[in-house]
Amino acid sequence: MPGNAISRALPWVIVGLLALFPVLDSTFYTQLLTKVLIMAIFAMSLDLLVGYTGLVSFGHAAYFGLAGYALALMGPKYEAASLWWTLPGAIGICVVFALVTGLVVLRTRGIYFIMVTLAFAQMLFFVFHDTKLGGGSDGVYIYAKPTMNLGETVLVTLEKLDQFYWLVLFFTAATYFLLRRILGSSFGRALMGIKVNEHRMRALGFPVFRYQLASFALAGGLAGLAGYLAAVQFGFVNPEILSWHQSGAVLMMVILGGMGTLHGAVIGAFAFVLLQEVLSNQAWFGIAAKHWQLAMGILIMLVALYLPQGLAGLMAKLQRKPPAEAEEGADV
Amino acid sequence: MSEAILRTEGLTKRFGGLVAVSDVSLDLHVGEVHVVIGPNGAGKSTLTNLLSGDLPATSGRVMLDGRDIAGLSSDQISRMGVGRSYQKTNIFLPFTVFENARLAAQSRTPYALRVFSRAEAYDAINALASAALESAGLAHRAQRVAATLSHGEQRQLEIAMCLATQPRVLLLDEPLAGMGPHESQRMVELISKLRSDHAIMLIEHDMDAVFALANRLTVMVNGEVLETGSPEQVRSSPAVQAAYLGGEEMLHE
Amino acid sequence: MDLAFILIQLLNGLQYGLLLFLVSSGLTLVFGIMGIINLAHGSFYMVGAYLAWSLASMTGNLATAIAIAIPLTVVLGMALEKLLFRQLYTRDHLYQVLLTYGLILVFEELRSIIWGDDVHGVAVPALLNASIPLTENLSYPVYRLAISGVCLLLAFALYVLIQKTRLGMMIRAGASNRDMVQSLGIDIKLIYTLVFAMGVALAAFAGMINAPLSSVTPNMGSHVLIICFVVVVIGGIGSVKGAMAASLMIGLAETFGQVLVPEVAGMIVYVLMAIVLVWRPEGLFGRK
C-alpha cells in the first residue's frame, strides 16, 4: 500500500528535515526547537504510561527533575561533566527510583494512582526544596555543559548550540523508534491489553504487575533522558523542574497531541511549547502576556471538554472524512 | 478412574454475612465433563471464581495436581493450566479477533519479554491462536474488530481465548448463553471433543446441552452441593426433584 | 523539652489537623459521591483566604468579612458544579485531572489580576486576640483554640448531617447507587450541586479562618491541596471518618516533625502515606 509506505517514511523525512534546521543559523529558533524536542521525549515517555499502559501518572515530572539534579550533583562543579557516564547514570537513577516507587504506586488504581503518583513527586520536591542536598529552593547551577571526550579529543560539546540540537534530535528520534518497536512487540501488545482489560489479562495468565512495573521503569528512564537534556539546556535546576505544574504540563501535551499515538505526543509537545511561547509574547499581547497562564488554563479546559482525542485524533477524523462527506454524515 | 486433576475440599466463600459457597467438595478428571447446575444465585459463578483465583476463598482447599492453589493469584493459576471463560463476555473489544486470541496464546510463551521483535513474528503463537479460532468456529472473522462481532460470536471468542492458553482444566461459565441454535450445537460438539484431553467444569442452564455432555452432574442450591453423581443418579434423586421446583420436566426431558 | 512545650505542639498539631479536615472532607465527599478528582479544590482554600483578607480590609472586621464571604463561596461552588463539573461525571479521570488543572491556572491568574501577587497578613480579631499563659514564658493563643473549636463543631455538624438527616441518607445512598437513588425520584442533580457547593464552602472557610495564622500567599492553594490528597488517600476515598483520622494523623506528624526533625519534615507525610498504602492500598477506612 502506498499510504502505508508514506506513513512509514514520514518520520524519517521529518527527522532529516529537522537535522537541516541549524543551517538557518537562528539561535532563537534552534533553542526553541531544542526545547520542543526535549519536551517531545518527555511527552512520549508519559504517553507510554497514559496512552498505552492505562496508568494516568500525575507525578511524571519527578523523573524529569531527578535526572536534572543527578547531572547537577554528579558532575564536577566548574568543569564540564562527561556525557559518557553522567547521562547513563542519570537515567539509571531514574529507572531505579521508578522501580522503587512503582512497587508502591502500582498497588493502587484509578483516582488513587493519580493521587499517589502526585504525592511521590511532591515528596521528591520537598527533598530538594527543604534540604541542602540540591541547593534548597534556589537550586544548583550547571556552570559547564557536558562534553563527550575520547581520550584528549572533545568529540561533542553541548556548549555548542548546533551540536546540542543534533544530540537532542538524535535522542528524540531514537526514543520514537525505540518506543514504536517496543509497542509493536509482544511486550507492547501485553501493555495495550492491560490498558483495555486488566482483569482479563490476569485471567489469561499475564503477570500484570510485572508488565506495569517494567513500563513504569521504562517511562521513568525516558523521562530522565528528557530531564537531563532539559537541565543542560537551562543551565540550572531548581525544585520547580519537578513540581506538579510540570507534571500537569506534560500530561496536557500528551492529551493535546492525542494520547495513545506516539506522534501525537510529539505534536502535543510542539503545540504546547509554541503556545506557551506565543501567549507569553509581550510584543504581541502586551500586558496580557504577563497573565498568559489564564489563556493557557482556559485552553486546557477546552481541550479536556471538547478535544478528548487531541490533535492527532482531530487529524485522523479529518483525513477519514473529506469535508463534503462530513457534511453528509452530519445529516444522518 | 484416573486421579483427579483438580479437587476442592470444603470450599467456602462468605461475603459479610452471606454464605455464597458453602463447604463444596468436588473433583475434575481428564476425560470428563463435570456439569454444575442450579438456580440463579446458587453460587455457581462464585465457585468458578474461587477455582480460577478471581476471588479468594474464605476457607477450604483447592488442590491442583495435589498442590493447594487456594490463595494464589488468578494469573498464577492460569499459568498452571487452568483456563476459564466468563459468563459475561470479557474480551478485548477494540482489538481484532485474531489479536484477542494471539494475546491469549502469547501468555503461554517465554517470548513475552523479547521487546524488539514484532509481536506477530512468532509462528508458534500465531498457529496456536489460529487453531483456537478454528476450533471455536471464528477463523473467518479473524480480522474483524471484536467489538463489531455479534453477541454469539463474542461468546465464541471468549472460548477461543480460553483454548489459546492451552489449559488442562477448563472452567466454562455458561458458554452457550446468548448463542443461536447452530452456534450452540457447534459449541456442544467442541466441548465434547475437548473432553478427551481436558478436565472440564461446565456451568450451564441449557438442559439439552447438560445431558448431552455431562459425565458427572452436581446440583447446587444456596451455595451448597445438593447432589452429585452420574446424570442418572442425579435425575432420580428425590432431593433434587424436591428442591428443583418446577424443574422436574426439565430434568426428565 | 518540657510538658508545656509538648502540650503546645499537640494543640498546634490538632488545630492544623482539624483545619485539614475542613478542606479534605469536601474533597473526599466529591471523590466518593460524584467520582470526581478535583485538583482545583486547593484553589477554593486560596479564594477563601483572599476573600477574607480583602473583605476584612474593607470592613475592618474579620467576622463580617467571613459572613459576607461564605454565601459568595457557596454561589461559586454551585456555579462551578452546574457549568463545569457536571460535564465530567461520566468522563475518564484523566479529563477530570486535565480540566481541573486548567481551572487552577485560571484561578491563580484571576487571583493575580484581582488581588496581585503580594503576601498579605490578616489581623486576629480583637475579641480573640489573647493568650493563655502556660508557664512563665510559654502561652497559647486563644484564636487557635477558637479555630479548633469551630472546626470540631463543623465536623460534628457534618457527622450529624451525613448520619442522621434525610439529606445525608440520600448522600450516602447516592454514593453507593446512583441509579437506585434516581429511581426513587430523588433529584440527584440537586444533591450533587449541594454537596459540591458544601465542599467549596468548607475549603474556603478553612482558608478564611486560617488567614490570621498563616499569611495569605499566592501559592497557598497548591500546598494544601497536595496535603489533602494525602489525607484522602490515607483515610480512604469517600470516607469522612477516614478523612478525620488521617487529618489528625498528618496534622500531628507534620507539626511534631517540624519541631523534632525540621530537615525532613516536608517528607514525613509522604512516607506515612507510602507506609499506609503498602499495608492497606484502599486507605484506612476505604472500601475495597
- State the pLDDT confidence band at B96, using cuts at 50, 70 and 90: very high
Nearest CA of chain A to the CA of C113: how many Å?
8
Q: Do B118 and A184 touch (CB under 8 A)?
A: yes
Give B212: exposed, middle or buried? Use CB within 10 Å, 0-12, 13-18, 19+: middle
pTM: 0.88
What is the spatial distance between Cα B231 and Cα B217, in angstroms, rounded to a whole number?
6
A196 to B93: CB separation less than 8 angstroms, yes or no: yes
Instruction: For residues A249 and A242, give the distance between their C-alpha atoms in angstroms, rounded to a whole number.
Output: 11
**Spans of chain C below 70 pLDDT:** 1, 173-186, 288
**Contact (CB<8Å) B114/A186:** yes
Same domain, B250 and B174: yes
Q: Which residue reads 422436574 in cell numbers?
A: B248
pLDDT one-digit tens code per residue, A140-160:
888 888 888 877 788 888 888
Asked if the structure places residue A181 within a domain, the reply is yes
Give the residue from chain A lying closest to B53, CA to CA. Answer: A203
Comparing B225 with C170, the larger pLDDT belongs to B225
Average pLDDT, chain B: 87
With respect to residue B191, please indicate whether it lies within any of the assigned structural domains. no
Contact at CB, C273 and A119, closer than 8 angstroms: yes
Domain residues for B225? Answer: 1-81+168-183+198-253
Total structural domains within chain B: 2
In a shared domain, residues B24 and B121: no
**pLDDT for residue C185:** 64
User: Quick one: cell of C148?
Assistant: 479548633
**Pairwise CA distance, residues A273 & A281, whole Å:** 12
Q: What is the pLDDT of residue A329?
A: 35
Task: Provide the domain count of chain A.
Answer: 1
CA distance B83 to B106: 14
- Which residues of chain A have a CB within 8 Å of the CB of B106? 186, 189-190
Q: Would an 8 Å CB–CB cutoff place B95 in contact with chain A?
A: yes
Where is average pLDDT lowest: B71-85, B193-207, B231-245, C236-250?
B231-245
Closest-CA residue in chain A for B55? A203
Domain check: are B117 and B175 in the same one? no
Distance (Å) from the C-alpha of residue A313 to the closest C-alpha of chain B? 16
Q: Which residue has the higher pLDDT, B65 or B1?
A: B65
- Residue A67: closest CA among A51, A34, A36, A45: A45
Do the domain assignments include residue B157? yes
Spacing of C-alpha C192 from chain mean position: 18
A302 in a structural domain: no
Show residues of chain C in contact with A308, CB under 8 Å. 91, 95
Contact (CB<8Å) A116/C87: no
Q: Is residue A198 part of a domain?
A: yes
- In this prediction, residue C89 carries a pLDDT of 85
The pLDDT, as a whole number, for residue B253 is 40
The better pLDDT of the pair C246, A11 is held by C246
Would residue A100 count as lying in a domain?
yes
B78 has a chain A CB within 8 A of its CB: yes
* Nearest beta carbon to residue A300 from set C87, C98, C283: C98
Determine, yes or no, domain membership for A292.
Answer: no
B104 in A contact zone (CB under 8 Å):
yes
Handedness of CA A215, A100, C96, A128 (dihedral sign): negative
**For testing the chain A interface, which of B52, B54, B115 should be mutated: the one with the most A CBs within 10 Å?**
B115
Q: Is the pLDDT of residue B1 over 80?
A: no
Q: Is residue A55 part of a domain?
A: yes
pLDDT higher than threshold 90 for residue A27: no
* Amino acid A325: pLDDT: 39
- C-alpha distances (whole Å) from C220 to each of A39, B127, C225, C229, C245 are 28, 60, 9, 15, 23
- Inspect the structure and tell me whether chains C and B have 3 or more CB pairs less than 8 Å apart: no
Q: Please give the residue range of the domain that contains residue A103.
A: 2-240
The string of DSSP codes covering C205-237 is HHHHHHTTTS-B-TTHHHHHHHHHHHHHHHH-T
Report the DSSP beta bridge partners of residue B234.
none
Q: Is residue B3 part of a domain?
A: yes
> Is A171 among the domain residues?
yes
pLDDT of residue C239: 86
Average pLDDT over residues A110-138: 86
For residue A45, the surrounding DSSP H or E stretch is helix A27-47
Checking if the pLDDT of A282 tops 70, the result is yes
Query: What CATH number is attached to the domain comprising B20?
Result: 3.40.50.300
| A97-106, A121-130, C72-81: least confident range | A121-130
Residue B144 maps to a domain? yes
- Highest-pLDDT range among A102-111, A266-275, B229-238: A266-275
As a whole number, the mean pLDDT across chain A is 88
Q: B78–A204: do the CB atoms touch at under 8 Å? A: yes
Pick B92's closest partner by Cβ from A200, A202, A207. A200
How many CB atoms are closer than 10 A to CB C164? 10
**Over the Cα atoms of chain C, what is R_g?**
19
Give the residue from chain C lying closest to A108, CA to CA.
C281
Q: Number of A:C CB contacts under 8 A? A: 127
Q: What percent of chain A has pLDDT over 90?
A: 52
Does the residue A15 lie in any domain? yes
Whether residue B237 sits in one domain with residue B172: yes
Alpha helices in A154-207 (DSSP H): 161-184, 186-196, 198-203
**Which residues of A touch chain B, with CB atoms under 8 Å apart?**
181-182, 184-190, 192-193, 196-197, 199-208, 214
Q: Is the distance from CB of A292 to CB of A280 less than 8 angstroms? A: yes
**Residue C182's pLDDT is what?**
65
> Subunits with at least 3 CB pairs below 8 A relative to chain B?
A
Residue B237, in any domain of the structure: yes
Closest residue by Cα to residue B20 from B225, B233, B222: B222
Residues B206, B177 share a domain:
yes
